[in-house]
Every structure is written in structure tokens, then in C-alpha cells.
Structure 1
Amino acid sequence: MDAPIRLILYDFRNETSVSIKGYFMDRTIVYPGAIPLDTDILNINRNVLIGIGALNAAVFGTGVVADGLECSPTVPPSLTVSVAPGSITQYGSVDPNAYGSLAADLSEQTVKTGINLDPVTFTLAAPSSSGQSVNYLIEATFSETDTLPVVLPYVNAANPSVPYSGPNNSGGAQNTMRIERVQLQVKPGAAAMAGTQPTPAVDAGWVGLYVVTVNYGQSALTAADITTLPTAPFLSFKLPQLRPGFSAMQVFEQSGSFTVPAGVTQVKVRAIGGGGGAGYHATLPGAGGGQGGMAMDIITGLTPGQVIPVTVGAGGISPASPGSGGGGGTSSFGTFLSASGGGGGQGGTATLFATAGGAGGIGQGARIIQGGAMGSDGITVACRGGDGGGDGRGRGGSGPVVGFAATGFGGGGGGGGTTIGGSNPVGSPGGQGAPGLIVVAY
């Protein structure tokens, strides 16, 4: 460890002291026959505290981390909730107050853990006005206090066989234990009409864990009344479940929103735009639609509970009467990144040698972007429609066969063929483009 402390050693014979700069994983040396000092034990305790704190910092970082502390209704049902045993890990001064004969250490910081082995209960009250509800915030912080006062025996230098009672034979009690706990408190919000009641703000130096909602006339709480705050710093994984990289995934096949889970600050997003629809020409094979573009990146700096809109681009349509296919829609993840849809394949009634395939879409706003494959042109001499662009594309129809719709995300639709032989060929409708996709891994 590279964070130093200073130990003050006192030489009783020469009545001098020497300051020694040490490190937190140093160990105290004692010798047979030497006069034992209280600092021998106090420094061991402090060094163990700091050594474990350094390990916690390496594992959890220096942010607040909570574990356990599950909140549930009591049994039998009432307006009382119970917060189960658990712990909170928090960064702070090594010793904000003097520790026995060791001076306070405010300059050095470490990660300290408060542990509750017993549940803590809170009794709540329902609002007094009809139709109202109230939100109660349960918040936590690390607490360190000196307690367990005892009248200790002291050495009587004048008569060692008769010890003093307390310091200087005062008979006064002294605290004998510095305890580290999870301090919990409940904070009521203002009652308001149900659905509009505010949740109290988290106090400085505390972290919010739960919100408990109580309605007018309610006499017993259920689990449905207790909500974990998205910003609560609970551990997302325990070591046996921990896997490298991104271990969970949410797939959007239609538009919606992504709520950043508790404990998550970065996500890996892949966006695919919708595929273009195929063209439908009156006398020629229709052209295939283009493939949607792709964008992929890791997005950092997110906040648990943050809501991000997700748009999934629709597949382009193929017209029911001669005309060009519709373009695919753009897929986007908030304002972070997007992927445009593929262009529609050419169709219509104009005199052409061949119909042109739709252009591919393109990714935007990401470190990895890719253009979609273009749709194939209609093949007049073979009376065959052009294939759609990309994976899962729709195949073009041959002869008087309609084009096939795309089956893969972002694929373009296949163009319809034309009748074979004769002086008045007739084209066929094309296939639809496939919708896009958003994949969020965290």
C-alpha cells in the first residue's frame, strides 16, 4: 500500500518520542519483557481497518455500495416495514475522532464498511385526507460511534496491588468499542392526490434505498407498496454470478424506452435501420430494396434510472400499384447513435431499360458504423426482380411471381418479376422490407 501513516513511539527511559512514517500494511513488533503500550493494539486495529478498506476499494471502488438491507412488510401485516440485516461501504476519513490515545486521522481516506446484524423497523402513517397518498423515503449512510462504556481498572503506581477505578481513580466510565453500522432513517414526503405525491429528496451524505407508498385508509402494507430506487447502490452481482464484459441484454423489435438498471453506468448498443421495400414496375421487373445501416458503440456516463427513448425503424413498404418501394425507417438510441433505413427499390411506369436497386442505409454517431448493402437491379432479360440487400433479404420473383419479403432485421425486400414472352409484359408487386433492431447489452 502506498498511503502512509505516522506512528509516534515513546521512549519512557529517555522521555523522548520519535515519529516514524509507515504504511498501512506494516505490522507492529513487540518484544518479551518490553512494556506493552496501548498503541500496540490500537495501531493493529487501525491498520487492519485500512488494509481491508484498501481491498474493498480495489473490488468496489470508492463509491457507496449497499448489500442486503432488503425492505419488506412485517408479519402480521401492518403499516410497518422491516429493513433486513446488511451492509454499506462508504469512503471517508480513517478516524474523524481520536481513537483511544491515537490522534484523529482526517488526512488519510479509506473505504469503511458498516454492518447491521439485526433488522430495523419503521412504522408509517396513512394520509388523513380522502384520495391522498404519501411517499416515504428510506435512506442509509455509514455510521461510526464510540460506545459500551465501562469503568476500567488502571495501574496504581503507588500501590500496584490496589488498582485505580477509572482514569486517575475518578470512577468514570470510558467507551470501549468503536462500532460501524448502517444508519437508516425514514423521511416522509408531502401528502397529495394519489399519483401526484412527491418523493422526498435524498439528504446530503445519505443514499436513497426505497420508496414506500401509503394510501388514505390503508391499514397494511404489501410488497407492491415498496419500490427500490433506481439509484440505490445495491450490488448488481455477487461473485459467483459475475461474468466478464456485458452479461445482460435487452432487445427492441419495436419502439419503446430503455431504463438504465441499478448499478449500470455504461451500455453497449447496436442499431440496425429498417430495410427498404422493393419496387413494382408496370412492365419491368422491380428492383430490390436496400439494407438498413448499422451503428455500434459503448455508451458511458449513464445514470441508473435514466430513461432513454428507443426508436426502431419500420421496414419499407412495397406499393400495391406500380411505383418505387418505400424507404426503411431510422433506428436510434436516444441522441447517442442511429442507423438510417435502406432506400426503396425502383419501380413505376416510366420507360426504362432496368429498374435500379435501393441504396443502403448508414450508421451515425458511433465508433463502428456500416453501410447497408444495395438492393439488386431488376433483370429485364430474365424477367426477374432484383434481390433485396443484406442478410435476410427478400429474393426477387422470377416470371409472373411477386417478390419475397425480407425475413432478417434490416433486410431489403425482393422485386417482383414480369410475365415471360409476349409483346406486353406485366410486372408483379415486390416484397416488404424488414424492420430494424436495437440491442442493448449491459
Structure 2
Amino acid sequence: MDRQIVYPGAIPLDTDFLLTNRNTLVAIGALTRATLGTNTVADGLACTPTSPASLSVVVAPGSITALGPLDTTDYGSLLADTVSQIVKTGITLASTTFALTPPATPGQSIDYVIEAAFLESDATPVVLPYLNAANPAQAYSGPGNSGVAQNTQRIDRVQLQLKAGAAAGTGTQIPPAVDTGWVGLYIVTVDNGQTSVVAGDIVPHPACPLLIFKLPQLTPGFSRRVVFNSSGSFTVPVGVQTVRATVVGAGGGGGGTDGTYAAAGGGAGGFASGTFAATPSTAIAITVGAGGIGGAAGVNAGAGGTSSFGSLCSATGGAGGVFQSAASTPGGSGGNGSGGELVGRGGFGTDGQNNSFSIGGHGGTSLMGGGGRASTAGSTALNGQAPGSGAGGTYNSSGAGGQGADGLVIVEY
């Protein structure tokens, strides 16, 4: 950072002090930019019901960091600089209380948005003493002995405000749009007849820029993982803007037999993996494909179901092993992936072998591991052993084939 030089015996100037302050501001802004970037970021500012409960909420102290001009107005005798852009931090040390009004019509609700912005202003006016050259022992009161008060601080704060939406039937109300230059922090919902706000009425705004991790909590890369073994949904945590998803389709069922020939194994599900932009607080549908049903006499085995992460990536299931119809029965084909940076096909189930070493087909191998073992004389076909793997086909006297393994969806953030 830049530093001022002052020499012994030199008359100190006001700019020596002002430039020291400005240089410190620039240096801290550069460090903040290097760690937080240039997007608006907030910290603290937790929103909670009052205690005792009422129709008000309290926003705790906190800070907001935003990119803006170095100085929009003159800073003492330093001229304004609206061209240079730095990252500044506004700090609020006091809590802020907002009162909410329920809608007057029964059956209606209203959404309020609490929004924040960076605010810089000059404050603390004081009538300052000035040098009276004609009589140095008697200072002037204000510039030119005018008695005019002058601001003595340039303060950076968090500006908060409450914005009401339109009342509508409960469940159909819409939060108001965030004002230009502001960021949404919370949405608070109140219903007709409600007498107090509870924690469940307060949710983060979808674009809430609050930091959710501190430096001691950070780990490299995608440090948190959610594994879905069944269908559901993934809600993007507040503060998370990028997620990585890996999907594996389900395995196909193993082929069955009527006692004449050995049946084929089922194919494994395909896979896809990618990194995707995400919107905080948004729910993304998760589909986990079901494993294919093992084939019985005269019936082809079922194919595995498709797994998907919203519309961003998906993987089809493996084909089921076909019912034996000849001395050599081809195994089920593997599924395919789509979407993301890495896509692939599941392994094929092996053919049913009908010779002096008659044996059913093995299940195809998925991204997650091997398939079900084929049956031999006196044994039954095994289900898929790893997520998305195919099931083994049955020996010529073993009946139904194995069950394909269900798929899998892994979300990291």
C-alpha cells in the first residue's frame, strides 16, 4: 500500500492525514477483493423473531461488502475520484427492528422482503477551531469565523429496508422485486390474523449474498456431499452458487430361462458427471432409477430406470438380459449418460453360454462397481452388487434372473 512521507520540521498538511486514510482504505479494499471478489457479500445480519414474540423481526449487526467508486464526493481537500473502483465494507453495530402488518382480508398472506445496500455518507458535524493569523491565541470558530459546522467523518454502513409485496391468497402471494442497487436478504411471510412471527416465517431470499463459511471451515474443492439412493430433491444451500452432480442409471435385470438354455446378464446403467451453476434456495428434482426386474420363463428381464439431476444431466439404465431363445443369448446393453463434462456408458451384460460349461451371463459393471454373478448349476443368479450394475442371468435350470441394482445420484457443493 502507498504511504505518506513527513519530514522533521516540515509543516504538516491536511492531505498527509487524508491520504493516509485513503491509502489504508485502498489497501484493505484490495485484500477484500482478493478474498471475496467483486460481487456484493454480506456477513452477520441474522434475521430472527423478537423475544417476546411479536409482529416484528430483528436484523442483527453485520456488514456488507460491495464494489464502488473510491470517493463519490470530495474527501476533505482531496478531490472526488469516481473512476477508480474499490471494494468497500459497510459495518452496522446495532440491531434493526422491522414491524410487519398482516393482510386485512381472511385467507390472504403477504410477503415482505428485507433488503440491504452499502451506504457511504459524511457525518458528525462539528464547529471546528481555525487558525486566526491576526491573533493566533484566539482561534476562529469555523472557516472564516463563520460558525459553520463541518462533517468530521466519512462513514460506511449497511443500509436496511423493508419492502412489502401485494397481499394475495395464501400460497399464491409473490415477494416484491428487490430494488436496483440493493440485495435481498430475507423473505418474511405473515398471514391474515397472525399475531406473532415465528422462525418458520423467515426464509433466506433466493439471491441472499450472506457468507455461510468462515475460513476455518473451508476445505478445497467440493467439500460437502449428499448421496441419493432414492428419488427426492436437493435444495441449494444459501451461499452456494456451484454444484457438482454425478448420476448413475440403474442396472438391467438378469435374463431368465425355461430350463433349456442359460440366460444373459443385464447391462449396467450409464453415467454422467458435471459442474453446474446453481441458485441458492432453489429445489432441484432428483430421480434415481429403479433396477430392472429379473426375467422369468418366457419374459425378457426389465431395463433399469433413468437417473437424473434436474434437467442438467441424466443417465439411462441398462437393458435387461433377454429370455433365452438359442444356444448363445446376447447380454443386455449398457445405458448412456448425457450432460456435464464426463459421460459414459455402462458395461454390457455377458452372454449366456450353452456348452459343456453352461453358465448364465454376468451383470454389466457400472461406474460404481461390478454386476451380479451369473448362476451355475445348483445356484441362483445374483442381483446387481454395486449401484447401477446389472444382474446375473440364470443357468438353464435356475428360473428367474437377478434384480438389477438401483441407480445413484451424488451431489457435491
Query: How would you bin the TM-score normalised by the shorter chain?
Result: over 0.9
Aligned match of 2:334: 360
Which deviations, in whole Å up to 9, do the C-alpha atoms of 1:256-304 show, x marking residues without a partner? 33333222222222111111111112221211101111222222x3332
Q: Distance in 1 between matches of 2:312 and 2:191?
A: 40
CA RMSD of aligned residues (A): 1.6
For structure 1, the 5+ residue unaligned runs are 1-24, 420-426
2:349 paired residue among 358, 375, 380:
375
Kept in 1, the 8 Å contact 2:257–2:395? The answer is: no
**SS of aligned partner of 2:31:** helix
Structure 2 unmatched ranges of 5 or more: none
Report which of the two structures shows the higher radius of gyration computed on alpha carbons.
1
AA in 2 matched with 1:171: G
Name the residue aligned to 1:408.
Answer: 386
Whether the 8 Å contact between 1:230 and 1:261 is mirrored in structure 2 is no
* Residues 247-396 of structure 1 aligned to structure 2 (within 5 Å): 247-282=223-258, 283-299=260-276, 301-348=277-324, 350=325, 352-380=326-354, 381-390=356-365, 391-396=369-374
Deviations, residues 163-195 of structure 1 (Å, cap 9, x unaligned): 100010001111111111100000111111211
* Number of residue pairs the alignment of both structures matches: 408
Q: Is contact 1:276–1:344 with CA below 8 Å preserved after alignment?
A: yes
Are 1:169 and 2:162 an aligned pair? no
Scaled by the length of structure 2, what TM-score is found? 0.95
> What secondary structure sits across from 1:53 in the alignment?
helix
| CA-CA distance at 1:205 after TM superposition | 0.3
What fraction of aligned residue pairs are identical, expressed as a percent? 55
- Residue in 2 aligned with 1:7? none
Alignment of 1:63-82 (within 5 A): 63-82=39-58
- Which residues of 2 match residues 194-233 of structure 1 at below 5 A? 194-233=170-209
Q: Secondary structure at the match of 1:240?
A: helix
Classify 1:133/1:50 alpha carbon distance in 2 versus 1 (closer, same or farther; 3 Å).
same
Q: 1:230 Cα shift? A: 2.7
- Does residue 146 (structure 1) correspond to residue 122 (structure 2)? The answer is yes
- Distance in 2, matches of 1:206 and 1:186, equals 11
SS of structure 2 residue aligned to 1:384: coil
SS of 1:108's partner is strand
**C-alpha offsets along residues 183-219 of structure 1, whole Å, 9 cap, x if unaligned?**
0000111111211111111000000001111111111
Aligned residue for 1:58, secondary structure, equals helix
| TM-score of the pair, normalised by structure 1 | 0.89
- 1:5-154 matches, within 5 Å, as 25-154=1-130
Cα pair 2:111 2:175 within 8 Å, conserved: yes
Q: Distance in 1 between matches of 2:402 and 2:298?
A: 13
Q: Write the distance in 1 (CA, Å) between the matches of 2:217 and 2:88.
A: 24
Residue 369 of structure 2 corresponds to residue 398 of structure 1: no
CA distance in structure 2 between the partners assigned to 1:267 and 1:157 by the alignment: 68
How far, CA to CA, are the matches of 2:329 and 2:317 in structure 1?
Answer: 20
Q: Runs in 1 of length 4+ with deviation above 6 angstroms?
A: none
> In structure 2, what is the Cα distance between the partners aligned to 1:221 and 1:365?
43
Contact 1:152 1:165 in 2 (8 A): yes
Paired with 1:413 and 1:184, the residues of 2 have a C-alpha distance of 60
Conservation of the 8 A alpha-carbon contact between 1:400 and 1:418:
no
8 Å Cα contact 1:401/1:418 also seen in 2: no
**Shift of residue 392 of structure 1?**
4.1
Aligned match of 1:20: none
Alpha-carbon distance, 1:311 to partner? 2.5
